[in-house]
Amino acid sequence: MRDSLEVDQSCESREGVIKYGVRGSGAPILLVMGFMARGRAWRSQVEELSKDYQVAWFDHLGVGESVGPPAKSMVDFAHDCLALMDHLSWERAHVVGISMGGMISQELALLAPERIISLSLIVTHYGGVSKVLPTAKGIPRFLKAQLSRDPQQRIEALRALLVPESVLQESARQGRDEEINEKLREDFTPKPPSKTRVSHVKAILKHDTRARLSSIQCPALVIQAQEDLLVHPKHSKSLAQAIPNAKLISFEHAGHGIVRQSNIDLNAVLREHLSEAGSASPPPS
- State which amino acid sits at residue 48: E
pLDDT class of 2 with cuts at 50, 70, 90: very low
Closest C-alpha to 157, from 257, 262, 253, 41? 257
What pLDDT was estimated at residue 284?
A: 52
Q: Is the pLDDT of residue 229 over 70?
A: yes
Q: Residue 175 — very low, low, confident or very high, per pLDDT cuts 50/70/90?
A: confident
92-77-6 Cα angle (round to 5): 80
pLDDT of residue 170: 86
Sign of the torsion angle spanned by Cα atoms 37, 41, 45, 51: positive
Average pLDDT rounded to a whole number, residues 246-261: 96
pLDDT band of residue 129 (cuts 50, 70, 90) is confident
For residue 4, what pLDDT is reported?
66
Mean pLDDT, range 93-98, rounded to an integer:
98
Q: Judge whether residue 1 has pLDDT over 50.
A: no
Residues 5-43 pLDDT 10s? 889 999 999 999 999 999 999 999 999 999 999 999 999
Mind listing the pLDDT tens digit for each residue in 41-82?
999 999 999 999 999 999 999 999 999 999 999 999 999 999
Q: Tell me the C-alpha distance between 278 and 272, whole Å.
A: 10
- CA distance to 109, 202, 281, per residue, from 213 (Å): 9, 21, 20
Q: Which CATH superfamily is domain 9-278 in?
A: Alpha/Beta hydrolase fold, catalytic domain (3.40.50.1820)
Residue 269: closest CA among 120, 163, 167 = 120
Q: Tell me the average pLDDT across 84-91.
A: 98
Could you tell me the pTM of the whole model?
Answer: 0.95
Residue ranges of domains in the chain: 9-278
